[in-house]
Amino acid sequence: MSKSLSLFLPALGGTALILGAAYGVMSRDHGQAEIEMLERRMDAIAERADRAQDDAAEKARLSQELEARLAETRANMSLQASGGAPLTEPAPLADGAYGLGRAAHEAEISAWDVDILPDGRGLPEGRGDVWTGEEVFAEACASCHGDFAEGVDNWPVLAGGFDTLADEDPVKTVGSYWPYLSTVWDYVHRSMPFGAAQTLSDDEVYAIVAYILYSNDLVDDDFELSHENFTEVALPNAGGFVIDDRPELEYSAWSAEPCMENCKDSVEITMRASVLNVTPDDGAGEMEEAAHTPEPAAAAPIETAALNPDPMAAQGDASAGERAFGQCKGCHQVGQGAANRVGPHLNLLFGRKAAGLEGFRYSESLERSGASGLEWHADTLDTFLENPKAIASGTRMSFRGIPDAEERADLIAYLRSFSDNPADIPEADPTAAGTDHDLDPAILALTGDPEYGEYLSSECTTCHQASGGDDGIPSIVLWPEEDFVVAMHAYKNQQRNHPVMQMIAGRLNDEEIAALAAYFHRLEQ
Partner 1 sequence: MKLDRRTFLGATAATAATLSAPMVLGAGHGTPRVVVVGGGAGGATAARYIAKDSDGAINVTLIEPTRTYYTCFFSNLYIGGFKNVSDIGHSYGTLASEYGINVVHDWAIGVDRDAKTVTLAGGGSVPYDKLILSPGIDFVDGAVEGWDLSAQNAMPHAYKAGSQSELLKAQLMAMPAGGVYAMVAPPNPFRCPPGPYERVSMVAHYLKENNPTAKILIADPKEKFSKQGLFEEGWANHYDGMIERVGPDFGGDAVSVDPGAMTLTIDGEVNKVDVCNVIPAMKAGRIAELAGVTDGRWAPVNAADMSTKADADIYVLGDASSQGDMPKSGFSANSQAKVCANAVRGALTGSRVFPAKFSNTCWSLIETNDGVKVGATYEATPEKIAKVDGFISATGESAEVRKATYEESEGWYAGITADMFG
Footprint on this chain of partner 1 (rule: CB under 8 A): 336-340, 345, 357-359, 451-452, 454-456, 458-459, 461-467, 469-473, 499-500, 502-504, 506-507
How far apart are CB 399 and partner 1 at their closest, in Å?
22
From the number of C-beta atoms within 10 Å of its C-beta (0-12, 13-18, 19+), residue 334 rates as buried
Residue closer to partner 1, measured from CB, 143 or 237: 143
CA contacts within 13 A on the Cβ side of 511: 3
How far apart are CB 144 and partner 1 at their closest, in Å?
17
* Cα 464 to Cα 472: distance, rounded to the nearest angstrom: 10
Residue closer to partner 1, measured from CB, 303 or 470: 470
| Measured CA angle at 43 (ends 38, 49), to 5 deg | 125
Residue closer to partner 1, measured from CB, 64 or 336: 336
How far apart are CB 448 and partner 1 at their closest, in Å?
13
How far apart are CB 164 and partner 1 at their closest, in Å?
20
How far apart are CB 278 and partner 1 at their closest, in Å?
13
Cis before 441? omega within 30: no
How far apart are CB 388 and partner 1 at their closest, in Å?
23
How far apart are CB 465 and partner 1 at their closest, in Å?
5
Which residue in 202, 180, 200 sits closest to 192, CA to CA?
A: 200
Residue closer to partner 1, measured from CB, 395 or 494: 494
Residue closer to partner 1, measured from CB, 454 or 482: 454
Residue closer to partner 1, measured from CB, 187 or 452: 452
* Cα 417 to Cα 334: distance, rounded to the nearest angstrom: 10
Residue closer to partner 1, measured from CB, 323 or 492: 492
Q: Which helix (H) or strand (E) holds 478?
A: none
How far apart are CB 356 and partner 1 at their closest, in Å?
12
| Contact (CB, 8 A) for 134 and 22 | no
Residue closer to partner 1, measured from CB, 259 or 275: 275
Helices in 142-238 by DSSP H: which ranges? Answer: 142-145, 181-191, 202-215
| Contact (CB, 8 A) for 366 and 344 | no
Residue closer to partner 1, measured from CB, 21 or 346: 346
Residue closer to partner 1, measured from CB, 274 or 462: 462
How far apart are CB 359 and partner 1 at their closest, in Å?
6
The strand pairing partners of 353, in sequence order, are 375
How far apart are CB 442 and partner 1 at their closest, in Å?
24
How far apart are CB 476 and partner 1 at their closest, in Å?
10
Which residue in 383, 403, 406, 378 sits closest to 321, CA to CA?
A: 406
Q: Is the dihedral of CA 280, 281, 285, 286 positive or negative?
A: negative
Q: Is the dihedral of CA 92, 98, 101, 102 positive or negative?
A: positive
| Measured CA angle at 250 (ends 246, 252), to 5 deg | 55
C-alpha distances in angstroms, 316 versus 295, 321, 403? 19, 8, 15
3-state secondary structure (DSSP) of residue 358:
coil
How far apart are CB 411 and partner 1 at their closest, in Å?
22
Residue closer to partner 1, measured from CB, 185 or 350: 350
Residue closer to partner 1, measured from CB, 1 or 500: 500
| Contact (CB, 8 A) for 175 and 161 | yes
C-alpha distances in angstroms, 22 versus 18, 100, 107, 369, 455? 8, 10, 12, 49, 67
From the number of C-beta atoms within 10 Å of its C-beta (0-12, 13-18, 19+), residue 55 rates as exposed
| Contact (CB, 8 A) for 22 and 91 | yes
326 DSSP 8-state letter: G
Phi, psi angles (nearest 5°) of residue 416: -65, -30
Residue closer to partner 1, measured from CB, 88 or 502: 502
* Cα 45 to Cα 496: distance, rounded to the nearest angstrom: 43
How far apart are CB 366 and partner 1 at their closest, in Å?
19
